[in-house]
């Protein structure tokens, strides 16, 4: 990979779901070359060790319930660092263009006339499910999968989630950022025709040694999550593929014991 010095440029880099072994080679090379790394809450700290000692590291994490950076401020920071003729890595959990607001950041860079590239990362939508022993597609069980946000912005006057389609038209549903609204998600799916006995998996800190998995169904998963006090970050997987975990659960975290239904 050839890097041109002397002009500022921002690389929107996906850090993957957490396991450093899932980081791409291109991401590692960029971290080693970066003058500045601007990183999020969901980036595993071990990944930052690839950055050069001289690199400036700036945390701009967003975490519900606490102080966090506003998106406009992050955009301005990227532009400012690039204008210092720096090679900037904007390091984001998962994939920048899958519920990572990478598109918004790219548009801000375009409008500012800053050079940029996107480096896709391994998305949590499939990798976290895999580490829980759940293939999101499986012959004879699931021929379709949809990624859905479980946290729409508060400025929307109505939901853009098409619940009737999701309930009846998709085999496997993967919800990002939805733990706090799991009761509502379950109720909407049942209301629009999904069987209340449809299995559900909630995977917290997927791909980390601290990974926890809770299994239930649409009728009881919200209550289980409340009793277990499961908090974000967690991924929600809805569909018959969840039943495959019983035979395909290959990942055994060395610290936490996976929760059982």
* Angle made by CA atoms 176, 177, 182, in degrees to the nearest 5: 95
| Residue 257 pLDDT grade (very low, low, confident, very high; cuts 50, 70, 90) | very low
Q: Which residues contact 111 (CB under 8 A, 6 or more apart)?
A: none
Contact 219, 187 (CB under 8 A): no
Own/partner contacts of 164-171, CB < 8 Å, gap of 24 or more, are: 164/192, 164/193, 166/192, 167/191, 167/192, 167/193, 167/194, 168/192, 168/193, 168/194, 169/144, 170/144, 170/145, 170/146, 171/137, 171/141, 171/142, 171/143, 171/144, 171/145, 171/239, 171/240, 171/241
pLDDT attached to residue 261 = 36
DSSP state of 236: E
- Cα separation, 213 vs 128, whole angstroms: 10
Angle between helices 221-228 and 182-191 (to 10 degrees): 170
Q: Which residues contact 201 (CB under 8 A, 6 or more apart)?
A: 129, 132, 134, 213, 214, 215, 236, 237, 242, 245
Domain 124-248, classified CATH 3.30.950.10, yes or no:
yes
pLDDT attached to residue 159 = 67
Tell me whether residue 62 is one of the annotated catalytic residues: yes
Domain 9-119, classified CATH 3.40.1010.10, yes or no:
yes
**Top-confidence residue, 31 or 155:** 31
Tell me the per-residue pLDDT of 181-198, one tens digit each, with 9 for 90 and over: 999 999 999 999 999 999
DSSP state of 142: B
> Quick check: 66 pLDDT over 90?
no
The pLDDT mean for the chain works out to 91
Instruction: List, in sequence order, every residue forming a beta bridge with 138; answer none if it has no partner.
Output: 142
DSSP secondary structure string for all residues of 57-122: EEE----TTS----HHHHHHHHHHHHHTT-EEEEEESB-TTSSS-HHHHHHHHHHHT-EEEEE---
**In a 3-state reduction of DSSP, which class is residue 239?**
coil
Selecting among 9, 19, 35, 40, the annotated active-site residue is 40
> Quick check: 2 pLDDT over 90?
no
Of 79, 83, 77, 84, nearest in space to 39 by CA: 77
pLDDT attached to residue 259 = 41
pLDDT attached to residue 1 = 53
pLDDT attached to residue 190 = 97
Selecting among 35, 81, 95, 177, the annotated active-site residue is 177
**Domain residue ranges of the chain, discontinuous segments joined by +:** 9-119, 124-248
Contact 36, 54 (CB under 8 A): no
Q: In the predicted model, what is the mean pLDDT of residues 23-49? A: 97
| Residue 252 pLDDT grade (very low, low, confident, very high; cuts 50, 70, 90) | confident
Percent of the chain whose predicted confidence (pLDDT) is above 90: 85
pLDDT attached to residue 106 = 98
pLDDT attached to residue 260 = 36
Selecting among 62, 171, 181, 217, the annotated active-site residue is 62
- Cα separation, 117 vs 96, whole angstroms: 11
Length of the chain: 261
Tell me whether residue 19 is one of the annotated catalytic residues: no
- Cα separation, 246 vs 242, whole angstroms: 8
Tell me whether residue 177 is one of the annotated catalytic residues: yes
């Amino acid at each position: 990979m050839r890097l041109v010095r002397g002009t500022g440029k921002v690389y929107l880099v996906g850090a993957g779901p957490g396991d450093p072994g899932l980081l791409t080679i291109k991401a590692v090379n960029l971290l080693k070359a970066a003058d500045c790394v601007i990183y999020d809450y969901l980036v595993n700290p071990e990944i930052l060790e690839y950055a050069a000692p001289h690199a400036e590291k700036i945390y701009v994490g967003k975490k519900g319930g606490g102080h966090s950076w506003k998106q406009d401020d992050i955009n301005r920071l990227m532009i400012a660092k690039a204008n210092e003729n720096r090679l900037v890595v904007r390091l984001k959990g998962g994939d920048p263009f899958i519920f990572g607001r990478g598109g918004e950041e790219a548009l801000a860079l375009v409008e500012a006339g800053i050079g940029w590239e996107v480096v896709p990362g391994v998305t949590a939508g499939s990798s976290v499910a895999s580490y829980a022993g759940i293939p999101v597609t499986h012959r004879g069980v699931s021929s379709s999968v949809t990624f859905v946000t479980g946290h729409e912005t508060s400025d929307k006057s109505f939901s853009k989630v098409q619940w009737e389609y999701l309930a009846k038209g998709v085999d496997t549903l993967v919800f990002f950022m939805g733990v706090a609204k799991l009761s509502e998600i379950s109720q909407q799916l049942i209301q629009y025709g999904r069987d209340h006995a449809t299995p559900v998996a909630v995977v917290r800190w997927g791909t980390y040694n601290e990974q926890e998995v809770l299994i239930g169904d649409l009728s009881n998963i919200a209550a289980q999550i409340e009793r277990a006090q499961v908090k974000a970050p967690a991924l929600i997987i809805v569909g018959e593929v969840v039943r495959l975990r019983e035979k395909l659960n290959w990942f055994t975290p060395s610290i936490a014991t996976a929760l059982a239904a």
